[in-house]
Amino acid sequence: MAAAALEARDVVKTFQEGREPVAVLHGVSLELRAGEVAVLEGPSGSGKTTLLSILGCILTPTSGSVIVDGLEIDPRRPGRLPAVRKRSIGFVFQQFNLFPALTALENVEYALNIKGITGGAAHAQAAALLERVGLAERARFLPRDLSGGQKQRVAIARALAGTPPILLADEPTANLDSQIGTQILQLFRELATREGRALLIVTHDPKVRDIADRVLRIRDGRIAA
């Protein structure tokens, strides 16, 4: 059995709203293994995005632990989170988070630069990643000149920059038509099967289940049995 690439153990997350603490996650535990595609489903307000942000080292848990690619995250040292993200995690954000002044190619190149890949190597890898998501002909376009689906594919290409072993995706097919969505799902399945990457996909799209090894459901901050 493949080793766990990503693990949460009894993760609790509480936010302070005024004087009252509000618990969003209640002791969530899960494992994501190399070469696996897992889908996380749940209604709005169930804690999906908060959990994804903790697993992606954007937030720290209030208690419990997260282990990323063999490294346990210390919630008392949040300054280390960017280094862990840079090393191990590709994140596909639902709202794209592209830099508006950079072209599609430059957005992907920038992600590579952050990971220490620069110059011609970054340019070549960025071009190859855009071609992989079917956007080679839009490489020189700014985000304002791209459709929602094209922006999503740039975001996916950027998440793949530097070949991270773990890919987390928040509604990655929400802005794609059915044909492109199917192509992206096939790419995700290939990343797991052929390249051994671990993928966790938060989605409401039932088609994503077709490529999944497991479907996890979260409700009221707890993983359903």
| Sequence spans of domains, the chain | 4-223
pLDDT in tens, 58-89: 999 999 999 999 889 877 777 788 888 889 99
Beta strand pairing call for 4-17 and 20-33: antiparallel
| In the predicted structure, residue 225 carries a pLDDT above the cut 70 | no
Of 184, 170, 210, 191, which is closest to residue 35 (Cα–Cα)? 191
Tokens 């766990």 — which residue?
4
Look at residue 190 and give its three-state secondary structure: helix
Lowest mean pLDDT among 16-25, 58-67, 194-203: 16-25
Q: What is the pLDDT of residue 75?
A: 73
Q: What is the pLDDT of residue 224?
A: 86
3-state helix, strand and coil shares in percent for the chain, rounded to the nearest 5: 35, 30, 35
Q: What is the pLDDT of residue 76?
A: 74
Residue type, 198: A
Q: What is the pLDDT of residue 73?
A: 84
pLDDT in tens, 103-161: 999 999 999 999 999 999 999 999 999 999 999 999 999 999 999 989 999 999 999 99
Residue 87 CB contacts under 8 Å (≥ 6 apart), including other chains = 69, 164
The percent of residues in the chain predicted with pLDDT above 70, rounded, is: 99
Give the helix ranges, DSSP H, for the chain.
Answer: 48-55, 81-88, 104-114, 119-132, 148-159, 178-193
| In the predicted structure, residue 1 carries a pLDDT above the cut 60 | no
Burial class (CB in 10 A: 0-12, 13-18, 19+), 86: middle
What is the Cα 124 distance to its own chain's centre?
Answer: 23
CATH class of the 4-223 domain in this structure: alpha beta
Q: Output DSSP code: residue 143.
A: G
